[in-house]
A and B are shown apart, each in its own frame.
Chain A
Amino acid sequence: MPEALLDANARGAAARRDDLRLISDWIPRGATVLDLGCGDGSLLASLRQERDVNGYGLEIDQDNIAACFEKGVNVIEQDLDKGLGNFQSERFDYVIMTQALQAVLRPDAILDEMLRVGREAIITFPNFGHWRVRAYLGFKGRMPVSSALPYEWYDTPNIHLCTVKDFQVHCQRNDIRIIERTVVNRHHRSGALTRAWPNLFGEIAVYRVTR
């Protein structure tokens, strides 16, 4: 793997770890969870330890699957783009997807599926409406690269980027109710600016939604 990409992956993993702290607070003790694109199983491992949460992760990368095995985390090799048809409706309390919505073939379809198999869905994604992203494209005239979006245009797995506003419009049009939202900056902190103008100052958006 080229060093730049390795570095990007490491930063992706770091961003994911920060998401975990935000998400953990929303999950009650003993909940059942399905984690889509669970990576090395860190979220499920910490939820199990801290909140007695019982769950499964879905993953396609076999190095990540091995890492889940080593942690004793339930992981099922499954391609998200093939849907969640093997899970019964309302099987889980929460279906979580961190930093993966923008990388699937049909984010709208997976969102529907998440809300079918789970009572609630928790989603995090990089906000493409952040001022730095806008400035990058606006002034440099080039596809934005940042800590939340660490790829070049040709190697990015992020094929369906959206803004905070895009996501909210989508929810509104599709009868998806937003229960909670946290928009944070690159240090995973929420401040006056991110609260006042989330689509401009938020780098990572975290949503809890239901139908």
Chain B
Amino acid sequence: MPESIPPDSVGLVEPQTLHVDQPLELECGRVLPAYDLVYETYGTLNAEASNAILICHALSGHHHAAGYHGADDKRPGWWDSCIGPGKPIDTDRFFVVCPNNLGGCHGSSGPLSRNPETGELWGPDFPMMTVKDWVKSQTRLADALRIRQWAAVVGGSLGGMQAMQWAIDFPDRLRHSVVIAGAPKLSAQNIAFNEVARQSILTDPNFHGGRYYLHDTYPRQGLILARMVGHITYLSDDAMRMKFGRDLRSGRFHFGFDVEFQVESYLRHQGETFSRNFDANTYLLMTKALDYFDPARDYEHSLEKAMERTRCKFLVMSFNSDWRFAPERSREIVNALVQAGRDVSYAEIDTPKGHDAFLLPIPEYTKLFGAYLGRVADEVSAHA
């Protein structure tokens, strides 16, 4: 934590846990008999419960979106750039809820938790989750918090896909859906990158069919490789050039395979940090949820038909250097919404930061994001 908490931070926060006994029927056909959802909240719910915003996290995210857990925290939550007093998701005006998705490894039921029926760790036997399943589980959290209708459901990347699925599956339970750096489904290239990441984990000798914990080990090398390849897709060519160029760590060639270029050092560091903090089974499951996401599939493969079910207003934003989910992918969403006659606004942010830009405090981005959500907050006040 910084020496003093910045005035635009939500400050010290504490995760909470919701235990759900109502079974959850999953898209894969299996049933989760009971489960835990760990979540954080920031701001205050108003008397009408009309100012709540749900934050959906992306592939490697979790419930800790903003603020600090304690004095030892080096960094705040993963979306602290956008959540806090006076920030785009303004905690002076909104009550913000961010859960950890099922199948995650940060406290919600997942491979690291115990199967209540056997008492054993779920491990690789935790059911495969989809975006639809996540959204359904999040409705239980909304019910528990007595939030009948979200002012907005907001997410970037895989989180944006959940915001979209909310609008399709539960059209009356949200007034705005904010889809940032998203896509209506993954391309073959996207799936290919995910498959490389999965294969690097699955073929790690320490993977042991996903039961590495029984062998007191984990597929460290596989996770490192998976994160390295993933990380390349989160940055743009320009961002890498600006950050590392061809800089050498020691200023000269060593004619070997140790780390020489700064970019190699960076990627290895990212991979190693990630491998210590993330569960391999969760990573496999989350990448599959991405691959399976395709809301149009339930509507004769027509995104327009899927969007005809929605009732909320949409904000779609993309970043021009994002090649993982390029602006064209966001425009597919916008076009389907226009064709379906739904309210939608779209902005494309000019930045070299690539896919990761949605996490960063880019002035043009936070300004537009804040302008949109400011209007959403005004609507809440007008109806209070």
Interface size (B, Cβ < 8 Å)?
A: 21
Does B241 reach chain A (CB closer than 8 Å)?
Answer: no
User: With A62-B364, A74-B345 as given contacts, are A69 and B339 in contact (CB-CB < 8 Å)?
Assistant: no
Check B371–A69 contact: CB distance below 8 A.
yes
Nearest residue, chain B, Cβ from A68: B345
User: With A56-B338, A62-B364, A91-B339 as given contacts, are A70 and B371 in contact (CB-CB < 8 Å)?
Assistant: yes
Q: Which of A62, A74, A87, A91 contacts B344 (CB 8 A)?
A: A74
Within 8 A of A (CB), among B354-374: 364, 367-368, 371-372, 374
Report the minimal beta-carbon distance from A82 to chain B, rounded to whole angstroms.
11
Residues of A within 8 A of B367 (CB): 62, 66
Report the minimal beta-carbon distance from B301 to chain A, rounded to whole angstroms.
17
Interface size (A, Cβ < 8 Å)?
A: 22
Check B368–A62 contact: CB distance below 8 A.
yes
Within 8 A of A (CB), among B299-348: 315, 331, 334-335, 338-339, 341, 343-348
User: With A69-B375, A70-B374 as given contacts, are A91 and B347 in contact (CB-CB < 8 Å)?
Assistant: no
Q: Which of B339, B346, B368, B375 contacts A76 (CB 8 A)?
A: B346
Check B371–A91 contact: CB distance below 8 A.
no
Q: Which of B345, B372, B374 has the most CB of A within 10 A?
A: B345
Q: How many Å lie between the Cα of A32 and that of B338 in the bound state?
A: 11
Residues of B within 8 A of A200 (CB): none
Residues of A within 8 A of B368 (CB): 62, 65-66, 69
Residues of B within 8 A of A32 (CB): 341
Q: Which of B339, B341, B345, B379 contacts A75 (CB 8 A)?
A: B345
Majority-rule SS of A interface residues: mixed
Report the minimal beta-carbon distance from A77 to chain B, rounded to whole angstroms.
5
Within 8 A of B (CB), among A138-185: none
Within 8 A of B (CB), among A60-80: 62, 65-78
Does A88 reach chain B (CB closer than 8 Å)?
Answer: yes
Residues of A within 8 A of B334 (CB): 76, 86
Check B345–A88 contact: CB distance below 8 A.
no
Report the minimal beta-carbon distance from B108 to chain A, rounded to whole angstroms.
33
Q: How many Å lie between the Cα of A73 and that of B371 in the bound state?
A: 12
Residues of A within 8 A of B379 (CB): 72
Nearest residue, chain B, Cβ from A75: B345
Nearest residue, chain B, Cβ from A73: B345
Check A87–B375 contact: CB distance below 8 A.
no
Residues of A within 8 A of B344 (CB): 56, 74, 76
Residues of B within 8 A of A194 (CB): none
Nearest residue, chain A, Cβ from B374: A70
Check B347–A77 contact: CB distance below 8 A.
yes
Check A91–B338 contact: CB distance below 8 A.
yes
The 7 nearest A-B residue pairs measured at CB: A69-B371, A66-B371, A69-B372, A76-B346, A77-B347, A86-B335, A77-B348
Q: List 14 A-B contacts (CB under 8 A).
A: A56-B338, A62-B364, A62-B368, A65-B345, A65-B347, A67-B371, A70-B374, A74-B343, A74-B345, A76-B338, A76-B344, A76-B346, A77-B346, A86-B335
